[in-house]
C-alpha cells in the first residue's frame, strides 16, 4: 500500500559536514548539519507478495518475539544479547556475532535519545574499519579482515506497536552512488564516520506498518564483501491520529563474522 512521509535528506556541500553528539558535554545535545525535509512516497511491505530478503536487499523484517518487555537498567542486556546472537546466527548463517551497542529511542522532546530523523547509514568504509579495531583490537581486526565480516543492525519496537515515526529504508537498487555523502560523527571521546544520503526522486522508500514488539528489522550497515549498505531514517508520518502512545524502540548494533 502506498503512503507518504517526510524524510530529512542531507545536502551536498564543498566542505566536510559533521554531527556532534552530546555537544558541550550535555547528554542528548545534538548539533546537526543542514537537512532538507522532503515528502516521499512509501511502500508498506506488510502483506507484500515480494517480501524483502537480507541476502538480496540488505534488509529483512522478521517475526522474532523477545522474552523481554522493558529495556531499562542493566539486567536485561545479557539476555537480549543471547537472543540477538541466536537470531542472527540462524538467519544469516553467521559463525560469530558480537553485540556491542544498544540504543533505546523515544519520540519525546525530553528524551535523551530521540529517533534519528536523517537519512543515513551508520558507517563509511573507513569508519567501519576503525570501529572493527576499536572493538577487537588491531590483531584480531586484521584476522577478521582476511575473511567476510559485516556490521548488522537489529531494530525492535518497545512496549507498543509503532504508530508514529516508523523506521523506513531505501531500496539499495534505487540509490545512485553519487547520492552518498561522507559525514563526521563527533563524540566527546572519539570520532567516527557515517554516510548521509542526499535526495533523489528515484529513491524507493519501504517500511512495515504498525510494527509490534514481536517484530524486528534486520539490516546491513557495512559488509566487506560488497552487500550494499542500507540507508534508513525515522519517517515523519502517523498511522492513526487517535493513537497517542509515543514511538519507542531499541536498536542493537552487531559485528557479524560469516
Query: Where are the domains positioned within the chain?
Result: 2-257
State how far the Cα of 30 lies from the Cα of 20, in Å rounded to an integer.
6
In this structure, how many other beta carbons lie within 10 angstroms of the beta carbon of residue 107? Answer: 18
Read off the pTM. 0.93
How many Å apart are CA 36 and CA 9, to the nearest integer?
Answer: 5
pLDDT, residue 1, reads: 63
- Please list the pLDDT of the chain residue by residue as tens digits (258 residues): 679 999 999 999 999 998 887 877 777 777 889 999 999 999 999 989 999 999 999 999 999 999 999 898 889 999 999 999 999 999 999 999 999 999 999 999 889 899 999 999 999 999 899 999 999 999 999 999 999 999 999 999 999 999 999 999 999 999 999 999 999 888 888 788 899 999 999 999 999 999 999 999 999 999 999 999 999 999 999 999 999 999 999 999 999 999
Q: How far apart are CA 4 and CA 43, in angstroms?
A: 8
Whether the Cβ atoms of residue 168 and residue 133 lie closer than 8 Å to each other = no
Residue with the three cell numbers 512495515: 208
Amino acid at each position: 500500500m502506498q503512503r507518504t512521509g517526510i524524510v530529512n535528506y542531507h545536502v551536498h556541500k564543498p566542505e566536510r559536514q559533521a554531527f556532534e553528539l552530546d555537544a558541550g558535554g550535555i547528554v542528548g545535545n545534538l548539533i546537526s548539519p543542514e537537512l532538507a525535509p522532503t515528502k516521499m512516497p512509501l511502500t508498506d511491505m506488510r502483506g507484500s507478495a515480494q517480501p524483502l530478503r537480507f541476502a538480496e536487499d540488505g534488509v529483512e523484517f522478521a517475526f522474532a518475539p523477545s522474552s523481554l518487555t522493558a529495556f531499562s537498567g542493566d539486567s536485561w542486556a545479557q539476555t537480549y544479547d543471547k537472543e540477538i546472537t541466536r537470531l542472527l546466527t540462524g538467519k544469516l548463517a553467521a559463525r560469530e556475532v558480537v553485540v556491542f551497542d544498544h540504543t533505546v529511542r523515544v519520540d519525546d522532546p525530553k528524551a535523551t535519545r530521540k529517533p534519528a530523523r536523517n537519512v543515513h547509514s551508520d558507517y563509511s568504509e573507513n569508519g567501519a574499519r576503525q570501529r572493527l579495531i576499536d572493538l577487537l583490537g588491531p590483531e584480531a581486526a586484521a584476522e577478521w579482515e582476511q575473511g567476510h565480516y559485516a556490521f548488522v543492525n537489529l531494530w525492535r519496537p518497545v512496549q507498543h506497536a509503532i504508530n508514529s515515526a516508523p523506521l523506513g529504508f531505501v531500496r539499495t537498487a534505487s540509490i545512485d552512488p553519487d547520492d552518498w555523502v561522507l559525514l563526521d560523527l563527533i563524540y566527546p571521546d572519539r570520532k567516527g564516520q557515517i554516510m548521509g544520503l542526499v535526495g533523489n526522486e528515484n529513491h524507493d522508500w519501504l517500511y512495515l506498518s504498525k510494527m509490534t514488539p514481536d517484530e524486528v528489522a534486520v539490516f546491513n550497515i557495512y559488509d566487506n564483501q560488497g552487500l550494499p549498505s542500507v540507508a534508513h531514517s525515522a519517517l515523519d508520518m502517523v498511522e492513526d491520529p487517535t493513537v497517542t502512545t509515543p514511538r519507542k524502540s531499541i536498536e542493537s548494533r552487531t559485528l557479524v563474522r560469516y
